[in-house]
Amino acid sequence: MTFRAWVIALCLAVLGACRVVPKNRRQHLADPTMAPDEDVLRDKAHAKVHLAREGAAGGDGEPAGGGCGCSN
C-alpha cells in the first residue's frame, strides 16, 4: 500500500468511530467512576473546608459567614 492509501484508511477508521448517541442511550455509555458519591457527611465536610479556605460567601446558597470556619 502506498502512503496515500494508508492515510485514507486511517481517516476512514477514525471517522468511522464517530457516532451521534441519542440522549436516552447515553446512560449505558457513562463511566461509573464519574458518578457522584453518595457520602453526604464527606460532602458536607468538603463544603465546609472549601468555604473556610476560599472565604467564599453565599456561593452555595447559605448565608455568608467568617472565613476561619470556626462559626460553623
Kindly report the length of the chain: 72
Nearest alpha-carbon partner for 29 in 40, 41, 20: 20
Instruction: Kindly report, residue by residue over 28-49, the tens digit of the pLDDT.
Output: 777 766 667 778 788 888 878 7
Instruction: Tell me how far apart the alpha carbons of residues 72 and 48 are, in angstroms, rounded to a whole number.
Output: 8
Residue 61 has pLDDT above 70, yes or no: no
The residue whose grid cell reads 464519574 is 34
Between 69 and 13, name the one with better pLDDT.
Answer: 13
Between 54 and 60, name the one with better pLDDT.
Answer: 54
Output the nine-digit C-alpha cell for 65: 459567614
User: What pLDDT, on the 0 to 100 scale, is given for residue 70?
Assistant: 62
Burial pattern 29-51, b for ≥16 Cβ within 10 A else e, equals eeeeeeeeeeeeeeeeeeeeeeb
